[in-house]
Amino acid sequence: MGTTPLKLAVLVSGNGSNFQAIVDAIEAGRIINASIVCLISNKADAFALERAKKHNISSIVLDHKGYPNRQAYDAALVELLRQHEVDLVILAGFMRLLSPTMIDAFPNAIMNIHPALLPAFPGLDAQQQAFDYGARYTGCTVHFVDKGTDTGPIILQSVVPILGSDTVESLTQRIHGEEHRTYVEAVRLFCAGRLKVEGRKVIISE
């Protein structure tokens, strides 16, 4: 008997290129023991919804504007994810902060990617922050989500040099390419059962 695949849900607000990278990796067999059971967007016009449709992945629009506050929205989100028996929640350009309601429901089972080498340049416009600061290197970080802003245990990081010829746009584009590779690898490790959180550290087993 084969192992039952882990059930993944991807949360998006926009284009969904990281979602696409993960879908492609599963279809190519680079991520095994995994199935994306649903894509959830808080915006009805998110292009990621079209991506899901092309791959016959169930897509759901859960508009935050229909809820009085973040806690109420997240309670509805948790209920939806539990209906799908989700093992891992992947944030892929989901432009909403999660409340403790959501985080407590999926401890060490919500992943996010941030376009900088945390703990440097947290929050919004990380690429602009690194560029303006004059940093020589930046990159991207995949981490588990906790109740802080970009403070959860770090899973993987990839380094991107900031070139003298860079603009914020060219830097953002290069970071984005690394995001696709790094996020796929982090999801692969999770689905292979190779990630263990010990305090602030994520241990990757061989």
Q: Is 195 annotated as a binding residue?
A: no
Q: Print the domain residue range for 194.
A: 113-206
| Same-domain status, 117 and 43 | no
Are the C-beta atoms of 10 and 40 separated by less than 8 Å?
yes
- pTM tops 0.75: yes
* pLDDT for the residue 157: 99
Please answer whether residues 35 and 64 qualify as being in contact, where contact means their C-beta atoms are separated by less than 8 angstroms.
no
- Say whether pLDDT at 2 is over 70: no
Q: What phi and psi values does residue 140 have, to the nearest 5 degrees? A: -145, 155
Same domain, 148 and 83: no
18 marked among binding-site residues: yes
User: Tens digits of per-residue pLDDT, 187-206?
Assistant: 999 999 999 999 999 999 98
91 and 33: one domain? Answer: yes
Element (H, E) at 21: helix 17-27
Residue range 80-106, pLDDT digits in tens = 999 999 999 999 999 999 999 999 999
Q: In this structure, are 149 and 69 located in the same domain? A: no
Q: What is the pLDDT of residues 5-27, one digit of tens each?
A: 999 999 999 999 999 999 999 99
pLDDT tens, residue by residue, 38-91: 999 999 999 999 999 999 999 999 999 999 999 999 999 999 999 999 999 999
**Same domain? 1 vs 101:** yes
Check residue 3 and give its pLDDT: 76
Tell me: do 183 and 152 sit in the same domain: yes
Distance from C-alpha of 146 to C-alpha of 135, rounded to nearest angstrom: 27
Could you say which of 114, 143, 176, 180 is catalytic? 114
118 is in an annotated binding site: no
Q: Please tell me whether residues 95 and 9 are part of one structural domain.
A: yes
112 is in an annotated binding site: yes
Average confidence (pLDDT) over 134-155 = 98
- Catalytic (active site) residue 84: no
Least confident of 2-6, 104-108, 160-164: 2-6
